[in-house]
């Protein structure tokens, strides 16, 4: 397929990407100023060099983060989110999960520091843990909230209150997105940075727009929602889109989040959470950390 001047969005998103074959961009004498214009809001996500660790640093230089995750029927989500942070270069991870889960999760993630939490009758994290979690969050560089928390109503209330009151950069995923989508105005009130990592179904809950309609207008919906919520949003899929509050959108074309069906499996989004957090704790800006986390996650798939 030949296109002129610049790649078009339809060349880079499915189904067009899958049907276009090899893409050639033919230049037609666009002025150089056009390529640097602020009016160009959509581009391919470029690779960002990952900072190297200095030899005289400690685990505290690359963390800590707090992952609030897990419920009686979700063992993998808390493990994958916390442990992927360490595997991707992070130095120190705390995991707040239901007390009954900690021994099982610890079997495959012994490097993680566990903060066992009191449970609801259904085995999810209870609301009475709120003050402890808020206090713990104050010493963190980032908090990941939501993977596998379940849809228990008490836990959803806890999630919304934490999202409102945590004063650190906050990445919300999975059941956390479902909880805050019921009171989405919470995110507008946050002072610290917010990152959301929804798939299409979760994006539909956030926006109140049908999934099919979002699929037709991914870029427009993402731009509007990121601006409205003042949040960085990773709209997962093939290809994943990263949207910023200033309406810039980056299209990721690497591996899994760039179009590998093998990564369409439960748990891959949890690994993405930890990877993004690791990039931030390695020293990248939050904007670069999100883009690089998505890039590496896709490439590894």
Domain ranges of the chain: 2-32, 59-300
Alpha helices in the chain (DSSP H): 9-12, 16-19, 32-35, 76-87, 102-106, 130-137, 153-165, 175-181, 185-189, 200-207, 211-216, 218-229, 268-281, 286-300
Task: Tell me the pLDDT tens digit for each residue of 181-221.
Answer: 999 999 999 999 999 999 999 999 999 999 999 999 999 99
User: In the predicted model, is pLDDT for residue 258 greater than 50?
Assistant: no
Cβ atoms of residues 88 and 117 within 8 Å: no
Kindly tell me if the per-residue pLDDT of 257 is higher than 60.
Answer: no
* Alpha-helical regions (H) of 46-152: 76-87, 102-106, 130-137
Q: What does DSSP assign to residue 168?
A: S
Q: Which H or E element spans position 235?
A: strand 232-235
pLDDT in tens, 268-301: 889 999 999 999 999 999 999 999 999 999 888 7
Compute CA distances 99 → 111, 112, 129, 152, 157, whole Å: 17, 15, 11, 16, 19
What's the pLDDT score for residue 255?
60
Task: Write the CB contacts of 85 (distance below 8 Å, at least 6 apart in sequence).
Answer: 63, 65, 67, 93, 273, 274, 275, 277, 278, 281
pLDDT of 109 strictly over 90: no
Looking at the domain 59-300, which fold is it? 3.40.1190
């Amino acid at each position: 397929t030949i296109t002129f001047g610049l790649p078009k969005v339809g060349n880079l998103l499915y189904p067009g990407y899958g049907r276009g074959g090899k893409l050639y961009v033919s230049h037609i004498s666009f002025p150089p100023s056009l390529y640097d214009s602020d009016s160009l809001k959509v581009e391919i996500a470029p690779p960002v060099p990952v900072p190297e660790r200095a030899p005289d640093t400690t685990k505290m230089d690359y963390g800590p983060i707090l992952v609030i995750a897990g419920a009686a029927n979700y063992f993998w989500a808390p493990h994958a989110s916390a442990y992927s942070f360490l595997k991707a270069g992070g130095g120190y991870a705390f995991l707040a999960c239901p007390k009954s889960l900690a021994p099982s999760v610890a079997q495959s993630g012994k490097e993680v520091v566990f903060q066992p939490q009191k449970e609801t009758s259904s085995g999810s994290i209870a609301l009475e843990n709120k003050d402890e979690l808020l206090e713990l969050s104050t010493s963190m560089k980032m908090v990941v909230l939501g993977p596998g928390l379940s849809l228990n109503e008490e836990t959803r209330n806890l999630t919304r209150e934490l999202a409102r009151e945590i004063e650190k950069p906050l990445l919300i995923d999975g059941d956390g997105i479902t909880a805050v989508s019921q009171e989405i105005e919470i995110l507008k009130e946050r002072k610290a940075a917010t990152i959301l990592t929804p798939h299409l179904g979760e994006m539909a809950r956030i926006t109140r727009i049908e999934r099919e309609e979002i699929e037709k207008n991914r870029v427009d919906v993402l731009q509007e929602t990121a601006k409205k919520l003042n949040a960085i949003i990773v709209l997962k899929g093939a290809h994943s889109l990263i949207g910023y509050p200033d309406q810039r959108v980056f299209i990721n074309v690497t591996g899994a989040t760039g179009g590998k069906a093998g990564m369409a499996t439960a748990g891959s989004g949890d690994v993405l959470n930890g990877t993004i957090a690791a990039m931030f704790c390695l020293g990248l800006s939050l904007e670069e950390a999100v883009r690089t986390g998505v890039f590496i996650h896709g490439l590894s798939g």
